[in-house]
Amino acid sequence: MEDLKAQINIAKLPEHIAVIMDGNGRWAKGRMQPRVFGHKNGVKAVREITEAAAELGVKYLTLYAFSTENWNRPSFEVNTLMRLLVDTIGREVKTLNKNNIRLNAIGDLSKLPTKTRKALLDGVERTKHNTRMDLVLALNYSGRWDILNATKTIAEKVARQEMKTEDITEATYKAALSTATFPDPDLMIRTSGETRLSNFLLWELSYAEFQFIPTLWPDFTKNHFYECILNYQNKERRFGMISEQLV
């Protein structure tokens, strides 16, 4: 159904789309398979959505791949996820370069297994000159972790008298977050029917439009993605104002 894509108003595209890729485990369970089978099949959806976003002209795509809370899962699942990341990044760098997409990562990367961190930093390095779209992987990320980290950075600057308390503004705070170089998301999509944020981009999503869709992540296709963008384009973003002011 090419129609959905054709209906999208390219002039009103969300500049930044953030996605909570959820439902891999349930997808596998529904097929009587181990949870990691769902993660392996989720990679295809990552590829599809990255391609769809770049083709449309979206400038930033942030994908929640692993939260700080996900360490609490059984170690077999955590280890498989970490290995899957290494394999996937290694395999996809060529395609990212071909499509002119820059890879970025947010989160506490220092806690990742060495191999995973190396694969990631290698991917970031090898795609750093690309300009069409920024793909941001949130890995060992949580919104509260980032806010606390930013607070510490700012507190240290104030203590060293490099900054005054009155210089702490929305802009200087944003500059201390791991998302400093990315604009706030316009649209946040969560798959699998869950309607919570699970510690994702707490500062940055203050004025994003939310789309919660029932599809499990491995089943998420370009058409689902287009539908989310079309729904987004039918919303009126008032930013505290009233309709009549928005002409």
Radius of gyration of the chain from its Cα atoms, rounded to whole angstroms = 19
Assess 79 for contact with ligand IPE (CB under 6 A): no
Assess 218 for contact with ligand IPE (CB under 6 A): no
Shorter beta-carbon distance to ligand IPE: residue 13 or 24: 24
Q: Identify whether 24 is a catalytic site residue.
A: no
CA distances from residue 91 to 61, 84, 85, 120 in whole angstroms, order as listed:
19, 10, 10, 12
Assess 24 for contact with ligand IPE (CB under 6 A): yes
Select from Mg ion, ligand IPE, none the partner in contact with residue 196, using the beta carbon and a kind-dependent cut-off of 5 to 8 Å.
Answer: ligand IPE
In 57-169, alpha helices (H): 75-98, 114-126, 143-159
Select from Mg ion, ligand IPE, none the partner in contact with residue 64, using the beta carbon and a kind-dependent cut-off of 5 to 8 Å.
Answer: ligand IPE
Task: DSSP letter for 185, please.
Answer: P
Select from ligand IPE, Mg ion, none the partner in contact with residue 66, using the beta carbon and a kind-dependent cut-off of 5 to 8 Å.
Answer: ligand IPE
Interatomic CA distance for residues 210 and 228, integer angstroms: 9
Only segment of 14-22, 103-111, 172-180, 239-247 that touches ligand IPE (CB under 6 A): 14-22
Q: Which of 198, 215, 221, 223 binds ligand IPE (CB under 6 A)?
A: 198
Element (H, E) at 16: strand 16-20
For residues 84 and 40, the answer to whether their CB atoms sit within 8 Å is yes
φ, ψ for residue 198, nearest 5 deg: 45, 45
Q: Identify whether 70 is a catalytic site residue.
A: yes
Structure tokens at 179: 């998302």
Q: Backbone dihedral region of 184: left (phi > 0), alpha (psi from -120 to 50 degrees) or beta?
A: beta
State the catalytic residue, choosing from 22, 134, 146, 186. 22
CB 217 to Mg ion: min, Å: 9
Shorter beta-carbon distance to ligand IPE: residue 77 or 184: 77
Task: DSSP letter for 20, please.
Answer: E
Q: Which of 14, 18, 22, 139 binds Mg ion (CB under 5 A)?
A: 22
CB 179 to ligand IPE: min, Å: 16
Assess 92 for contact with Mg ion (CB under 5 A): no
For residues 222 and 189, the answer to whether their CB atoms sit within 8 Å is no
Q: Which residues contact 78 (CB under 8 A, 6 or more apart)?
A: 70, 71
Contact set with Mg ion (CB under 5 A): 22
Contact set with ligand IPE (CB under 6 A): 20-26, 64-67, 69-70, 81, 192, 194, 196, 198, 217
Please identify every residue annotated as catalytic: 22, 70
